[in-house]
Each structure stands twice: as C-alpha cells, then as structure tokens.
Amino acid sequence: MRFTRTFSAAILSTLVGSAAHADQPVLVYEKILDHPYTQSWSTVYLGRISDNQHEVYLRGDGKIGDFFGVLYLDCDEPKYSRWEAQGGMIDTSEVPGQAIVGIRKTYCD
C-alpha cells in the first residue's frame, strides 16, 4: 500500500505514537543549505520484523520542505527495502542518499 502527499501528518503520527515514546529521534543526516538554513533527517525505530528487517519512521524538516514516511528496511538485501507510507511536501525521490546511508548505519550495523 502506498500513501501519497494527501496522507496526513496526524494519521502518520498516530501510527508511530507509541514508538516515539519508546525511542528518541535519531538524527541520521543534516544537510547544510544557505546560512542559516538546513534540512534535517531523523528516525524513530518502530520495530523489528525479523533478525535483519526493521520498520523505521523517517522525518525530514527544513528549508526544502517536510517529509514523513515509514521505511521497511531490509539490512541483508537493500534492494528489498521499500517505503510503506509517505507524506509531506516532498516525496521519497527527494530523500537524500546520505539519509538512507545514515539509516543503514544506525539500524543495520
């Protein structure tokens, strides 16, 4: 199931509400833009699917726009990782590779 930009922040917040209390957000990447602007990418761990498969909530905030999404993360086979939900002003194509690298370093190592 793929959610579009019309998927509201309130609904997605409900999905991750209990996880947000269990784990504090982890900054996985911050892009420095024209001073004083930045774009920050933070995660909250939602849970383990299996030994090397996880669900992670990713939030992007800053000058470029807001993003929120749930990533199914396959640590053994990255090609099987996929977005399960996404919303905000920007879409998954604008999530920088450095943020994905940060997610993999945080949850797969």
Residue environment code for 65-86, b if the CB has 16+ CB neighbours within 10 A, otherwise e:
eebbbbbbbbbeeeeebeeebb
Place of tokens 């940060």: 102
pLDDT attached to residue 77: 96
pLDDT attached to residue 21: 43
pTM here is 0.79
- Each residue of 17-48: pLDDT tens digit? 444 445 789 999 999 999 899 999 999 999 99
Dihedral sign, CA of 57, 94, 2, 103? negative
Residue 87 and residue 8 in contact, taking contact as beta carbons nearer than 8 Å? yes
CA angle 93, 96, 100 (to 5 degrees): 105
pLDDT attached to residue 22: 52
**Across the strands, what pairs with 72?**
55, 82
Q: List, for the chain, all residue ranges whose pLDDT scores fall below the cut of 50.
A: 1-21
